[in-house]
């Protein structure tokens, strides 16, 4: 890595106040970015600034603060639309995050379009959040959940997927990137295969928007969900992209204020999209944080972000492979900077606890992918997930921590 690159990375790290913390007297090495990314100062400041200077409800008032807040709120919707290349900002719905976006579609789409005997296809790689809502919809409507298997490397078996698609299939719900293995799924190919059968595709992009550019029109997916806190924004906010043709057919997910057009005791009519799906007072401050996070990522640029993360992925993979007794779980040739592994003879909880006391924060457990772990024949893994603000030196500290764990259990 060049000196200039190291200088830029240090400059970027200075933007994130938490990275200067010490844990148990050790400098923090934060490798839990798949669970949540850290927040730069400008995102934190944007949230604080809204409450200090602009706090007002949106779409509700004619006074100055309300109008100002409404304009800023809708500007972020446009910003998200541009970030994912939606056809219109009306196709962007603000939710509490990817999980709520999945539940929205599983409820609002499946209620009118799913019937007894129909089928929904998910994959073995899915996070529980992209399994349980579809499973519940199937149970409610008498439909069946079908599952795409994975190869030993952690790639989806598209030959089986093609066979699963049939006239009864009403939805394919697939992750963009596996949070457990880091596999980047061939979403465009999956969409094309599904659309050839007239089947819509929902993409869980919780990991997708932080690791590389997303063009929903190029992917041609029907729905795409995301969470701000996975992309350097605040918790409690995210969104759903949905094609206008589907959103206009779907019924509201939640009922109350804002999503209405006219209310009488005899009948209520609903607002236009996207407001039809945004009941109640929105999380305006965190929408401001989301918009600022997008600005920050755009300023860094995808060339820097992807180059840095790919370098870390390759370096960490190479170093882990050199450690005796370490087994990588998920070795797809097309991966994001997420590495799952096990240490022979040492429980992942024990290893993770010791590494934490050495200042290295990684994730341990099933990563909300219990069906995947069952199929792999394991209870869980250690997971190191990296971001552009991480460094090769931190990877070295991870390796040192693994050696320390092995020494303690020798």
Catalytically annotated residues: 368
DSSP 183: B
**Residue-by-residue DSSP string for 8-34:** HHHHHHTT-GGGG-EETTEE-EE-BTT
**Please, what is the Cα angle at 326 between 390 and 389, to 5 degrees?**
5
- Name 225's bridge partners: 204, 240
Peptide bond into 133 cis (omega under 30): no
- Write the CB contacts of 247 (distance below 8 Å, at least 6 apart in sequence): 91, 93, 273, 274, 276, 277
Q: In whole angstroms, how large is the CA radius of gyration of the chain?
A: 22
Compute how many other C-beta atoms are within 10 angstroms of the C-beta atom of residue 347.
15
H or E element, residue 219? helix 216-219
Backbone angles phi, psi at 100, to 5 degrees: -65, -35
Q: Which of 49, 38, 45 is nearest to 16 (CA)?
A: 38
Q: Are 73 and 212 in contact (CB under 8 A)?
A: no
- Name 97's bridge partners: none
Q: At what angle do helices 132-141 and 98-108 cross, to 10 degrees?
A: 20
């Amino acid at each position: 890595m060049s000196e200039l690159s190291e200088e830029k990375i240090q400059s970027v790290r200075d933007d994130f106040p938490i990275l200067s913390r010490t844990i148990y007297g050790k400098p923090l090495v934060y490798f839990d970015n798949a669970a949540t990314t850290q927040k730069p100062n400008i995102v934190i400041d944007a949230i604080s600034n809204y409450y200090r200077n602009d706090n007002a409800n949106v779409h509700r008032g004619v006074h100055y603060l309300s109008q100002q807040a409404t304009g800023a709120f809708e500007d972020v919707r446009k910003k998200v639309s541009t970030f994912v290349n939606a056809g219109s900002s009306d196709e962007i719905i603000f939710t509490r995050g990817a999980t709520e976006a999945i539940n929205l579609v599983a409820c609002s789409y499946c209620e009118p379009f799913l019937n007894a005997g129909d089928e929904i296809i998910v994959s073995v790689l899915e996070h529980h959040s992209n399994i349980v809502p579809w499973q519940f919809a199937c149970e409610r409507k008498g439909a069946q959940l079908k599952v795409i298997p994975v190869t030993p490397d952690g790639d989806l078996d598209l030959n089986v997927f093609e066979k699963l698609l049939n006239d009864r299939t009403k939805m394919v719900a697939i992750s963009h990137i596996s949070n457990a293995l880091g596999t980047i799924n061939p979403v465009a190919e999956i969409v094309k295969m599904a659309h050839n059968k007239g089947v819509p595709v929902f993409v869980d992009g919780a990991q997708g928007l932080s690791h590389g550019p997303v063009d929903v029109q190029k992917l041609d997916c029907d729905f795409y969900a995301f969470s701000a806190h996975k992309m350097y924004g605040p918790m409690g906010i995210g969104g759903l992209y949905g094609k206008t043709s589907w959103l206009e057919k779907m019924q509201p997910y939640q009922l109350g204020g804002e999503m209405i057009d006219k209310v009488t005791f005899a009948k209520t009519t609903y607002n236009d999209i996207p407001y039809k799906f945004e009941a109640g007072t929105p999380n305006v401050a965190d929408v401001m944080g989301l918009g600022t996070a997008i600005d920050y990522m755009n300023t860094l640029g995808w060339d820097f972000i992807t180059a840095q993360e790919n370098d870390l992925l390759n370096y960490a993979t190479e170093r882990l492979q050199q450690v005796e007794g370490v087994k990588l779980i998920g070795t797809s040739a097309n991966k994001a900077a997420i590495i799952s592994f096990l240490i022979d003879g040492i429980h992942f909880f024990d290893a993770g606890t010791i590494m934490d006391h050495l200042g290295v924060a990684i994730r341990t457990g099933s990563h909300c992918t219990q069906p995947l772990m069952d199929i792999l024949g394991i209870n869980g893994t250690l997971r190191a997930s990296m971001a552009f603000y991480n460094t090769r030196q931190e990877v070295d500290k991870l390796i040192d921590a693994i050696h320390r764990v092995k020494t303690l259990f020798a």
